[in-house]
Amino acid sequence: MVINSLGQDFHISFPTDYYNTNIDSLALTQRVHNLTDLQAIINISGTSATDFWISYGAAAYNVPLAIGVTGVMATDYYPYLQAGRIFGLMGGLKGAAEYEQLAKTPGPAMQGMAMQMWAHILIIAFIVIGNIGYFATRKKSEKE
């Protein structure tokens, strides 16, 4: 309902901002009244809200949409990207780090990727150690 109401008129849905300022007094909202006044919508979410923006926001009001979602959600949205329903997809920490690199502003996502790399190396090391232990004990039991 909120997305549909934003498609009709921001001013009715949200008469004041976070600081209780009348929305009509803000310079931006004097030019923007509903979703069709926007050149694009950017939704960054780790929830199913992205699905609602695709269906009820971008498609219903013919406004281009770019999304940022968690890494596990990203694969669900590649078909929308390929079909042209969305024009951009930032998937998970990797996507955020790529964006920081493109923007030439390294930040927490780039640092997070370094930590994630070391965590993956540690996991691989544990798998190798576990397999060595498994095969070593298996050879012992075969000799007995």
Identify the bridge partners of residue 69 per DSSP, sorted by sequence position. 91
Question: Which tens digits make up the pLDDT trace of 33-55?
Answer: 899 999 999 999 999 999 999 99
Beta carbons within 8 Å of 36's beta carbon, 6+ residues apart:
7, 61, 62, 63
The mean predicted confidence, pLDDT, of the chain is: 91
- CA 38 → CA 5, 28, 57, 64, 90, distances in Å? 15, 11, 11, 9, 20
pTM for the structure as a whole: 0.74
Measured between alpha carbons, how far is 133 from 144 in angstroms, rounded to an integer? Answer: 17
Spans of all domains in the chain: 107-144
pLDDT, tens digit (0-9, with 9 covering 90-100), for 75-106:
999 999 999 999 999 999 999 999 999 999 99
Q: What percent of the chain has pLDDT over 70?
A: 96
